[in-house]
Amino acid sequence: MDEIQKSARFWRPARRRRALAAVLFVLALPALAARAQQQPPREEGTFRAPDLVEVVRLDKSIRLDIRYATADNFAGRAVYPEARAFLQRPAARALVRAHRALKKKGFGLVVFDAYRPWHVTKLFWDITPEDRKQFVADPARGSRHNRGCAVDLTLYELGTGRQVTMPSAYDDFTERAHVDYRGGTDEQRRLRGILRAALESAGFAVYEPEWWHYDFKDWREYPILNTSFSEIEQGGRRRPGRGP
């Protein structure tokens, strides 16, 4: 047997092994991708240490209507174990300032949602049709809710205690939800403007496709979190002496 034939026979098994390894790698890619998608995205850079605080502990007159703790939401089921609202401390303080400024106009704030663990954002993305994806955050990038710096909210009347009527309902995935929607009544648009002015004065910016969604100005300074509500509470208990 000449040297060329010997060399060919020697390398043939190695080539088969490399080919098999390549095939196995390709077959494993979907599983690897799926596993990666079950965890929050990795971020580079330096962030502030999370300091989530329960909003109603700063001002008990802020009302809660946490739809994601009930089946009354677009998911059709409860995705939170409790009706609670948390924000990073500077955002929560800013929200309280907006709430107290609104009291002079006869209104208060009702919170629909605030900090949202990342796994809930992933769930929302998975169940939302492609033509409605603009209304939910991509879990591959994370949400400002995941950073504890976004809040969904509306107004209530101090005199009656009733929530006001806006041009659309909460989580309305139509053009009626846009902050510049020209439909609805004059009064509905006026109330939407009052909410926007109060939140912007306190350091929040509206997400235009959703009149109810506001992002705190420093949201980029906080990491994406997947911490449960119970874990937040336990962490707070381990940090005694922190005032509002």
DSSP 9: H
Name the 3-class secondary structure at 30. helix
Closest by alpha carbon to 191, among 111, 129, 118, 105? Answer: 105
> Could you tell me how many residues make up the chain?
244
Name the 3-class secondary structure at 150. strand
Q: Classify the phi-psi angles of 35: left when phi > 0, otherwise alpha if psi is within -120 to 50, otherwise beta.
A: alpha
Q: Which of 43, 200, 210, 221 is catalytic?
A: 210
Q: Is 210 a catalytic residue?
A: yes
Name the 3-class secondary structure at 53. strand
Closest by alpha carbon to 146, among 64, 228, 72, 25? Answer: 228
Instruction: Give the catalytic positions in this structure.
Output: 210
